[in-house]
Chains A and B, each alone.
Chain A
Amino acid sequence: MSDIDIKRISYLAKLKLPSEKEEFYSNSLKDIIKWVDNLKKVDTSKTEPLHNVTEKTVSIRNDEVSKSNSVNDVLSNAPERAQNFFKVPKVVE
């Protein structure tokens, strides 16, 4: 197992770990990855991955218009809103 680049992993997960906690998570991750490493010895060369355990067909609905959430419902939990929009800091200059 190669070393775990905790900065890269936390970047991928959109987390900004405080520097004093980087080692804590890094060690923890190393232990867990080492623990799950026993899967590598299982011969799966003839096995297909299992995505959905009951392997039933996923149902597809007809493309029909229906009334569901109102704009106000959708925005009711927004931390910040402006009129009918979610408000965020300016993204483009």
Chain B
Amino acid sequence: MKNSISQIKKALIEKKISVGELYDEYLAKAKSGNNNSFNLVIDRENNISSINDSQNRYDNGNPLPLDGIPLGIKDLFCTKGIRTTASSKILSNYIPNYESFVTQQLLNDGSIFIGKNNCDEFAMGSSNETSYFGPVINPWKNKNSQKDNLVPGGSSGGSAAAVAEGSCVASMGTDTGGSIRQPASLCGIVGLKPTFGSCSRWGIVAFASSLDQAGPLTNCVEDAAYVLNSINKYDFNDSTSSNHQREDYLVDINNSFEKKIKIGIPSDYLEDVSDDILNQIDNTKKALSKHGIEFVDVKFKTTEYALSTYYILAPAEASSNLARYDGIRYGVREDGESLDDIYLNSRTKGFGDEVTRRILIGAYVLSAGYYDAYYRQAQKVRRLIKNDFQRILNEVDFILTPTTPNEAFKIGDKLDPISMYKNDIYTVPTSLAGLPGISIPSGLSKNGLPLGVQFIGNYFEEKSLLQLAALAEKELSFNE
């Protein structure tokens, strides 16, 4: 059984295990590499000073909030002196000389990085199959076809698989349209996407800057609160970082709500879904109704436009953000006779198919003659989507939806991009609205695979969102 951060800290305080022994335990699993969840694993000797410092703090009786906790870091966060590739060929040799804001906070709080998690190339994908370093394999198997390797979801697929397989205690992911919540759901763990503007984007390889948000993937809701306490801080270097007062997300997390809670279930999300998915919503509803929580039907007006809006805006921002990869200042250069040839060759050979596709979509919707019809129109519809959520959140405290429309599927099964994009149907709308969402495991499918439900809260109200998720988790927990 997997241990939570507070259980591990207790064992470290009581000297039942040392920081070094703990690191070795997780390192051994990370190194076995059966599921390809890491692009890079950090040996004990390269972390020895952090391990010793952490042990000293335990010995002196003043450990930091995440002291000695081995974490996996999505290979999208710049880590000083440690190769950071975004799972792309074009960055496969890149060694940052600075630390991302978020990972710096985690280091400041005593955690130790066990390695860099595999992910979809530049975080573009929903199955972790677009990585230059090969697909990640979901640690879970379909009980009716044990031999099949399944996808872990994406794009933070390596981060999710690593937590599920037990090769790190918790991991960091990023979520642009569902890239934390969707893999968390398919791997049977907890994934939190905070409100846009909560956790700094500084030092995260950019995909779509108006949507990208860092967040934790963990074994339990309390662990998500531990990590969020560390990373949720104002940062001057991110111009969209919000400078509101942050709360302590651990305090009161296990308390019941003082006021009556009302949760909306969007009926339009549940049309044509399988029994497996409907069961998740029913179970959650039953479990929480016991605690006096009221459920009401709500209806969105904009759901059918969310994916279209996302697949215009995200590629548009990506095509602009990825213009920086030119083979001149960093990254892999392909030879060419002229400067222009270097640009063309480096980019063409450096990007994989899905990234190329999204750059092309972006270039198209931003090009003269199409800008107003696609890009600008999508930005306007995005406002309507945001307004739609605000209207619903005036009526209810939270929204409950499935996290994914299906269980984990076989690697190589979904070949056409549109059917892949539809994986994010329940997570994309929240991302467009910038709201916080958390996926928690809610049960198993008929094939014995994990599924999750998503709770959506109001802007910057992660504290009550975690409190609700912790309550639901107690009722819904299942054993592997």
Contacts and interface: CB of A to CB of B under 8 A. Distances in A.
Interface of A: 4, 6, 8-10, 12-18, 25, 28-29, 31-33, 35-40, 42, 44, 47-54, 56, 58-59, 61, 69, 73-74, 76-80, 86, 88-89, 91
B357 A29 contact: yes
Contacts of B93: 77
Contact of A54 (B197, B236, B345): B197
B331 A79 contact: yes
Interface string B402-437: 000000000000001110000000000000111000
Interface residues on chain B, size class: 35 or more
B327 to A, nearest CB: 6
Interface stretch (B42-50, B360-368, B392-400, B442-450): B360-368
A10 B360 contact: yes
Given A29-B364, A73-B97, A77-B329, A50 B383 contact: yes
Task: Pick from A6, A40, A47, A54 the residue with the most CB of B within 10 Å.
Answer: A54
**A contact face: mostly helix, strand, loop, or mixed:** loop
A13 B322 CA distance: 9
B304 interface: yes
A50 B93 CA distance: 37
B242 A13 contact: no
B339 interface: yes
Given A38-B305, A77-B95, A86-B328, A53 B357 contact: no
B107 interface: no
A50 B359 contact: no
Nearest to B240: A52
A58 B381 contact: no
A79 B304 CA distance: 46
Contact of B377 (A40, A53, A78): A40
A88 B386 CA distance: 46
Nearest to B346: A79
Contacts of A4: 364
